[in-house]
Amino acid sequence: MSFISYLINGLGLGSVYAIIALGYTMVYGIAKMLNFAHGDVIMIGAYVALLSMTHAGMPVLPAVLISVVACTVLGLLIERVAYKPLRNASSSLAVLITAIGVSYLLQNIALLMFGANAQTFPSVVKWKGLSLAGGKLTISGETLVTIIVCIIIMIALILFVQKTKPGQAMRAVSEDRGAALLMGINVNGTIALTFAIGSGLAAIAGVLLCSAYPSLTPYTGAMPGIKAFVAAVFGGIGSIPGAFIGGILLGIIEIFGKAYISSQMADAIVFAVLIVVLLVKPTGLLGKKIQEKV
């Protein structure tokens, strides 16, 4: 029984990673940049939802909605002010370092506004969850909701990218930005849209993460951000199903590692698995192999 419960917890944690990783992977696929500040957008999203619920006394759904809107705007703002001017910089490291600067900035803004102390995040899920096998196996409402939300988001994103015009534009830009521009696709708009979607997802991830692990500090987003980045690379960065699979696997490995090997070594295990996967498949599980033409 404990095996199944670990597995389900792993799925829950993995679903959060997957939602964050989707944001990472879409931004990477289209803007070819590692958005190191993505994890901190999660944290901002969680604070906005928290304030809406506790200070403004809003019900859950409007609070989450406000958080999504706030993060979307934040994502667009970051992209416009900090990343877009560096899009054609001579080194791709420039925008990476700027993203790190944005990450510090968001953390310190949160630190000034909300303080360093951990705040308790009230769960947005009121459902008690399921109790199966005569009470031997309980699944929390948070876990179930997280898994369901993650699946819905993934399917919606795949449909969006495959079926809609803006989605096709995204694919075109990620395939070949120059060619997309020549075909009359609004490249800047498409990149901004990608940031908007990724950041909106980050808000949802933040709310779900803090519902499951209810302690919120200005640094809450950093480690899940890194882990989700690992998940995105793990699944093959740039691939939406890859991010989903990578996130889920990472969550399961982390929970199993904690349960069966060592709780202190869980992170090391996660990173070790990543290394092994990349050494065997250098572009991740679902990544495309690219070879330079001579």
Partner 1 sequence: MLKKLSKQKISDIITYGIVLVAFIVMQILINAGQISSLFEGLMVPLCTYIILAISLNLVVGVLGELSLGHAGFMCVGAFTSAFFSKCMQDTITNSIVRFLIALLIGIVVAAIFGLLIGIPVLRLNGDYLAIVTLAFGEIIKNIVNVLFIGKDSKGFHFSTKDVMALNMEPDGKVIVNGPQGITGAPKDATFFIGFILVLITLFIILNLIHSRDGRAIMAIRDNRIAAESIGINITKYKLMTFTISAAMAGAAGVLYGHNLSNLTANTNNFGYNMSINILVFVVLGGIGNIRGSIISAVVLTLLPELLRGLSDYRMLIYAIVLIVMMLFNWAPKAIEWREKYLSFKKNKKEAVK
Tokens of 9: 């917890």
H or E element, residue 252: helix 240-256
Spatial separation of the C-alpha atoms in residues 150 and 67, rounded to whole Å: 17
- Report phi then psi at 16, rounded to 5: -65, -50
CB of 80 to partner 1, least distance (A): 12
Site for partner 1 in 150-189 (CB under 8 A): none
Interface with partner 1 includes 77 (CB under 8 A)?
no
CB of 257 to partner 1, least distance (A): 11
Q: Are 209 and 257 in contact (CB under 8 A)?
A: no
Binding mask 108-147 for partner 1 (x = CB under 8 A): xx-xx-----------------------------------
Cβ neighbours of 84 (radius 10 Å): 16
Residue 200 or 218: the one with the smaller Cβ distance to partner 1 is: 218
Q: Are 76 and 234 in contact (CB under 8 A)?
A: no
Tokens of 73: 């705007």
Q: Which stretch binds partner 1 (CB under 8 A): 48-56, 95-103, 155-163, 202-210?
A: 95-103
Interface with partner 1 includes 244 (CB under 8 A)?
no
The region that residue 138 occupies, defined by phi over 0 for left and psi between -120 and 50 for alpha, beta otherwise, is beta
Interface with partner 1 includes 104 (CB under 8 A)?
yes
Report the amino acid identity of residue 275. Answer: I
H or E element, residue 137: strand 137-139
CB of 274 to partner 1, least distance (A): 5
Q: Which stretch binds partner 1 (CB under 8 A): 5-13, 153-161, 240-248, 266-274?
A: 266-274
Where on the chain is the footprint of partner 1 (CB under 8 A)? 28, 34, 36, 82, 85-86, 88-91, 93-98, 100-102, 104-105, 107-109, 111-112, 226, 229-230, 233, 237, 262, 264-265, 267-268, 271-272, 274-275, 278-279, 282-283, 292, 294
